[in-house]
Amino acid sequence: MGVDIRVENLNAWYGQVHTLKDVTLHIQANQCTALIGPSGCGKSTFVRCLNRMHETNPIARAEGSVKMGGVDIYHDASPVEIRRRVGMVFQRPNPFPSMTIYDNVASGLKLNGYRKRRVLDEVVERSLKQAALWEEVKDDLKKKSGASLSGGQQQRLCIARALAVDPEVLLMDEPASALDPVSTAKIEDLIFELKSQYTIVIVTHNMQQAARVAERTGFFLTGRLVEFDATDKLFTNPSDKRTEDYITGRFG
Amino acid sequence: MISALPQRSQQMERAIRWRRSLTNHFVTGLAVLSTVVVLVPLVAILGYLLYKGASSLNLAFFTKVPAPVGESGGGMANSIVGSGIILAVASVMGIPLGIAGGVYLAEYGRGGMLGNIIRFTADVLNGVPSIVMGIAAYGLIVVHYKFSALAGGVALAIMMVPTITRTTEEMLATVPHALREAAFGLGIPKWRTIMSISLRTAMPGIITGCMLAFARVAGETAPLLFTAFGNNFWNFKLTEPMAALPLQIYVYALSPYDEWHRLAWAGALVLIVLIMLSVTLVRLYASRGTIKGGH
């Protein structure tokens, strides 16, 4: 099941650059929350703070409070523990090229020391089915490399890989921006399916996409969260002038 | 813009085409010539070794130890085995150390002070003449202990480390950062990510680096002169002086006897073939089970 995420006064820096300024928002459990805004507005940095991926860059740091289902992820847990509870899907599909399809999906469990064959088989099948990839790859599971699939299939493989470790939250950083429209539609269908079991946060440049998949949407600009509201409300009747300018295409 | 170009006459067109075709043939010819120039020495050396050495190869060469001065016959069996043992010792020490150094440089010490020092040291070490390595191992081990196969192995291991470290670093640097992030995102600890993702993805290149280092030290004579020292008899103890092919070739080549000269040629042939064989075998072994469609 998904958990809610309470973010309070989150600030982030890359070296001297202050990329995220006093962000406070409440992400509901088992909903899809979309984050939109022009390039460099801090939305990617924001999701990377939610699984402490931000700090893997040696010059980066973050301050503030992020509570995931009540657990303060910056004080009560290690980054590794947090990342096991929070799956992440990146902009460019990044399957492990040295691994088969099966090993890609099983990697999160296997590389954390889990080896029970029967359970792994089950998890791989379940995750690939959840990611709507099972039918396309079930005959090549242990024969083909994850890198041999098409771009759209690779991205669904990465989603399956993230789901296999049974996370509570799924972060997606522009998961469809490198894909063609057919693959994009598949990913969006998937988000719809997955909402019942996970809390989903998706960064997107595509406002139609945000409108299609998300219950709530946040608009970022120059490191600040300008507006955060129900998706319908934000797109039809924004309360901030800057949001309106952005969604009507006046800038960004 | 194209319309602004002056009209070319048919004659001009033909002249231009002829010139381009000439240039093309000239450059292609140059490339072929360079390839031949590079390949000729290699083929010539192999051919000359075969011509000079093959006739002295017989069963005794592979089964007997060197004959005493004045007696004919004898072989290099103890040198072949000795080289194998010394190289195994060198590889067991040099390869893990070299790879570990490369991992540090690529995954931990990037841009750091210590990393830069190690990188610089490795580059300097790479350029140190092999006889100096021999003297170093002599001073470090032989002076305090004795001439031994172990000392020879250490000297060769020191020579292997910088090559392996630098190739490992370079190969790890080619592993996309996105793969590391993918692993971190799954909650896989950094050390695990390095072992199972970074190193595994870079493995073909790292193996090439190891084999380069191996092939280079396999033919080294100078570092063994005052370490492994050589031995005319069988010895399997690491703590005793041991024979090695390059040493035996060196001794025989400098001797005044024609038969020993012929044996030296045969030894050189065997050395080259063994190096090529071991490199090929490792490559075959490493490429087994490679999955389809990677990269």
Note the Cα A74 to chain centre separation in Å.
19
pLDDT of residue B294: 44
Mention every residue, 6+ apart, whose C-beta is less than 8 A from residue B229: B147, B148, B152, B241, B242, B247
In chain A, the largest separation of any two C-alpha atoms, in whole Å, equals: 56
Residue A53 included in any domain = yes
The amino acid at residue A156 is R
Which chain B residues touch A60 with a CB distance below 8 Å? none
Q: Say how far apart CA B156 and CA B224 lie, in whole Å.
A: 8
Contact criterion met (CB < 8 Å) for B179 and A148: no
pLDDT, tens digit, for every residue of B82-103? 999 999 999 999 999 999 999 9
Q: For B144-164, what is the mean pLDDT?
A: 93
Best CA proximity match to A21, nearest among A172, A220, A241: A220
Range of the domain at A87: 5-94+168-247
Residue A110 included in any domain = no
Whether A78 has its CB under 8 Å from any CB of chain B: the answer is no
Whether A82 has its CB under 8 Å from any CB of chain B: the answer is yes
Which residue of A107, A111, A149, A157 is the best one to mutate when testing the B interface, meaning the one whose CB has the most B CBs within 10 A?
A111
Helices B258-287 + B199-218 axis angle, to 10: 180
Residue A163 included in any domain = no
Kindly tell me the sign of the dihedral angle through the C-alpha atoms of B138, B144, B148, B151.
negative
**CA distances from residue A136 to A141, A152, B229 in whole angstroms, order as listed:** 10, 12, 63
Whether B196 has its CB under 8 Å from any CB of chain A: the answer is yes
Contact criterion met (CB < 8 Å) for A80 and B201: no
Give the domain ranges of chain B.
86-245
* Residue given tokens 């040295």 in the structure block: A98
Distance from CA of A242 to the nearest CA of B (A): 33
pLDDT of residue B289: 61
Q: Say how far apart CA A38 and CA A164 lie, in whole Å.
A: 32
pLDDT, tens digit, for every residue of A168-193? 999 999 998 888 888 889 889 989 88
Residue A78 included in any domain = yes
Residue A134 included in any domain = no
Mention every residue, 6+ apart, whose C-beta is less than 8 A from residue B226: B134, B135, B137, B138, B142, B147
* CATH code, domain with A88: 3.40.50.300
pLDDT exceeding 70 applies to what percent of chain B? 96
Best CA proximity match to B146, nearest among B224, B49, B239, B272: B239
Phi, psi (degrees; rounded to nearest 5) at A71: -95, 125
Q: Say how far apart CA B62 and CA B269 lie, in whole Å.
A: 13
**CA distances from residue B38 to A24, B32, B33, B265 in whole angstroms, order as listed:** 66, 10, 9, 23
pLDDT, tens digit, for every residue of A85-98? 999 999 999 999 98
When CB atoms are compared, the residue of A53, A92, A98 closest to B201 is A98
Best CA proximity match to B225, nearest among B117, B88, B129: B129
When CB atoms are compared, the residue of B193, B196, B292 closest to A145 is B292
Contact status, residue A216 vs residue A228, Cβ threshold 8 Å: yes
* Residue given tokens 């005959």 in the structure block: A139
Kindly tell me the sign of the dihedral angle through the C-alpha atoms of B62, B64, B70, B71.
negative
Whether B183 has its CB under 8 Å from any CB of chain A: the answer is yes
Nearest CA in chain A to B179: A94
Best CA proximity match to A175, nearest among B28, A161, B155: A161
Contact status, residue A22 vs residue A9, Cβ threshold 8 Å: yes
* Residue given tokens 């602004």 in the structure block: B4
Phi, psi (degrees; rounded to nearest 5) at A64: 130, -170
When CB atoms are compared, the residue of A99, A108, A162 closest to B188 is A108
Whether B186 has its CB under 8 Å from any CB of chain A: the answer is yes
Contact criterion met (CB < 8 Å) for B295 and A97: yes
Distance from CA of B90 to the nearest CA of A (A): 29
When CB atoms are compared, the residue of A51, A82, A147 closest to B293 is A147
Contact criterion met (CB < 8 Å) for B201 and A145: no
pLDDT exceeding 90 applies to what percent of chain A? 74
Q: For B126-131, what is the mean pLDDT?
A: 91
pLDDT of residue B4: 63
pLDDT at B288 over 80: no
Low-confidence ranges of chain A (pLDDT < 50): none
Residue A132 included in any domain = no
Helix or strand or coil: residue A5? Answer: strand
When CB atoms are compared, the residue of B189, B196, B292 closest to A143 is B292
Which residue of B186, B201, B288, B290 is the best one to mutate when testing the A interface, meaning the one whose CB has the most A CBs within 10 A?
B186
Q: For B4-17, what is the mean pLDDT?
A: 82
Element containing residue A36 per DSSP (H, E): strand A32-36
Residue A64 included in any domain = yes
Whether A144 has its CB under 8 Å from any CB of chain B: the answer is yes
pLDDT bucket at B283, cuts 50 / 70 / 90: confident
Helices A151-164 + A181-194 axis angle, to 10: 20
Best CA proximity match to B87, nearest among B285, B287, B284, B282: B282
What is the number of other CB atoms lying within 10 angstroms of the CB of residue A114? 13
**Beta-bridge partner residues of A170:** A87, A200
Selected from 3.40.50.300, 1.10.3720.10, 2.40.170.20, 3.40.640.10, the CATH number assigned to the domain covering B86-245 reads 1.10.3720.10
Whether A99 has its CB under 8 Å from any CB of chain B: the answer is yes
pLDDT, tens digit, for every residue of B180-224? 999 999 999 999 999 999 999 999 899 999 999 999 999 999 999
Count: domains in chain A: 1
What is the number of other CB atoms lying within 10 angstroms of the CB of residue B52? 16
Nearest CA in chain B to A150: B293
Distance from CA of B203 to the nearest CA of A (A): 9
Distance from CA of A244 to the nearest CA of B (A): 34
How high is the mean pLDDT of chain A?
Answer: 92
Q: For B51-65, what is the mean pLDDT?
A: 89
Q: For B214-237, what is the mean pLDDT?
A: 90
